[in-house]
Every structure is written in C-alpha cells, then in structure tokens.
C-alpha cells in the first residue's frame, strides 16, 4: 500500500515548503530568540492569539510537555465566528488584559494566515499600545495582497514588530483535486513548526546564558504533575490555561 498520487505529491510539496519556511525565517527566528529569552528571564509571560483555525497554532505551545510554562493564550469563545466584527477583538483582548495583564516588554504572538481579519489586528494594536513586542505569524503572500477588513487599513504584518512567514499560498490549499477544487492546507503544520523552532531557540538562549528553564514535563510521567505545579507556581495567576 502507498499514498495516493495526490497525497504523495502533497507530501513532497509540503516538505519543500517547510524547508523554504525554515530558510526564509532563520534571521527573524535568530533575532527573536534573545528577545523572548530575556523576557522569560525577567519573569514575564508570552501571550498567543489565533482566530479561527489559527487558534490551533496558538495553542500548540501552551501548557505542553517540553514547553515553557510561562506561555498563555488569549482565547476567543466564538472560535473565530465573529472575527470580522470590528471592535470585538478589542473587547476580547481588553478583557484578557484586565484578568491576566499585558505588561510592557512582553511578547504577544498573533497568528492569522490571511492577516486581514479584524480580531487579530485589534489584538495586535492593543498589544502595541501596551508596549508589548508583537510577532505576527501569517502568510505574506496573502497578507500583502488581501484587503483588510479593519478600518485603519493595515494588515497584520504591517502592524507587527516582527513577522514570521508560513510561505503559504492564498487560500491555504496547494493541491488541485480538479479544475474547481483544491485541498492540502499547510498553514497549521508549518506555523506550528515555526513556533516550535522559536521556542527551542529561546530555551537554548536561556540555557546558554545561565537562566532557569521553566519547562513542563509530560504529566503521564510519575511525579510530573506535582513538579509542573511547582514550576508554574509564580505564573499561575497569569495563565489562561491552568495546570493540572
């Protein structure tokens, strides 16, 4: 048994795109690692936000085994259903800010494949107003061509301090099934890879500079739940996802 021809072609092309994303984002990842590292060393937390399907990527690095405990997500209870209702993203992030705080110098990673929707743009704008460092994760091919729905006229990449490009195509479907239908998304797994490369680089920076590594272990390993609670004790009031 083997993959279907279309699935095999998707495998080959998506791996090429992953390699391209690594090369094209290397300089940005290298620049961000010491910024995130210094923030973690100060006792800050890292915030993530993704609207709609991008929420999967935002959650990728939150509260997971082998990941930094000091990462928290700005959660949208509508799962992106009203991501283009102007003003909703502002109210969402303001409420989050009141409960968990966005502090000056902290990093906020905002994920939006299209870079045009209102909620992620408003989260980025609020974070900038609070003095945070905003990192956009988007498809530049989409974000630089799609018309924003936000009244200020800017797409996400134009607001962010740093941009990670997932290299995806407009529409996020790289394999034509027929003349009318395409499939094969790439934004999720390449976006997740980019964030994991960033987290690994950040932890490497922390370790090289003699800082503690507040990293979670799998709770399926004996004793890890108690250890994770101890590691996360000083952060627990700032985490939107509580530890076990």
CA-CA distance, 76 to 73, in Å (whole number)? 9
107 within 8 A of 68, measured Cβ to Cβ: no
Give the contacts of 240 (CB within 8 A, at least 6 positions apart): 72, 73, 74, 75, 96, 99, 100
Does any domain span residue 3?
A: no
Given this model, what pLDDT does residue 243 score? 84
Q: How many residues does the chain have?
A: 244
Given this model, what pLDDT does residue 54 score? 95
Does any domain span residue 23?
A: no
The three-class DSSP label of residue 149 is: coil
Does any domain span residue 43?
A: yes
Does any domain span residue 2?
A: no
Does any domain span residue 103?
A: yes
Taking only the tens place, the pLDDT of each residue in 40-99 is 999 999 999 999 899 999 999 999 999 999 999 999 999 888 898 899 999 999 999 999
Given this model, what pLDDT does residue 1 score? 77
pLDDT beyond 90 at 244: no
Can you give the residue range of the structural domain that contains 195? 32-170+180-238
Does any domain span residue 12?
A: no
Task: Give me the phi and psi of 135, to 5 degrees please.
Answer: -110, 125
Does any domain span residue 231?
A: yes
The average confidence (pLDDT) of the chain is 95
Task: State the pTM of this model.
Answer: 0.96
Task: Give me the phi and psi of 111, to 5 degrees please.
Answer: -110, 125
CATH of the domain at 71: 3.40.50.10490
Q: How many domains does the chain have?
A: 1
Does any domain span residue 83?
A: yes
Given this model, what pLDDT does residue 16 score? 98
Predicted confidence band at 117 (pLDDT cuts at 50, 70, 90)? very high
């Amino acid at each position: 048994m083997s993959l279907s021809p279309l699935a095999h072609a998707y495998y080959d092309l998506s791996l090429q795109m992953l390699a391209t994303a690594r090369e094209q984002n290397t300089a940005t990842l290298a620049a961000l690692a010491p910024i995130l590292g210094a923030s973690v060393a100060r006792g800050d937390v890292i915030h993530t936000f993704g609207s709609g399907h991008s929420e999967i990527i935002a959650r990728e690095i939150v509260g997971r085994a082998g990941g930094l405990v000091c990462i928290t997500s700005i959660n949208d209870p509508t799962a992106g259903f009203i991501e283009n209702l102007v003003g909703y993203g502002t109210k969402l992030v303001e409420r989050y800010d009141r409960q968990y705080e966005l502090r000056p110098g902290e990093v906020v990673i905002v994920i939006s494949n299209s870079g045009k929707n209102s909620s992620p743009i408003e989260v980025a704008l609020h974070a900038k107003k609070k003095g945070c460092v905003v990192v956009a994760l988007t498809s530049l091919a989409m974000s630089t061509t799609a018309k924003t729905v936000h009244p200020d006229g800017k797409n996400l990449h134009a607001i962010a301090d740093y941009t990670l490009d997932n290299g995806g195509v407009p529409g996020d479907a790289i394999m034509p099934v027929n003349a009318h239908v395409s499939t094969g998304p790439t934004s999720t797994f390449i976006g997740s890879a980019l964030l994991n490369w960033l987290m690994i680089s950040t932890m490497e920076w922390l370790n090289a500079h003699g800082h503690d590594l507040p990293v979670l272990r799998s709770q399926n390993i004996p004793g890890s739940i108690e250890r994770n609670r101890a590691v996360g004790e000083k952060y627990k009031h700032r985490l939107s996802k509580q530890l076990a």
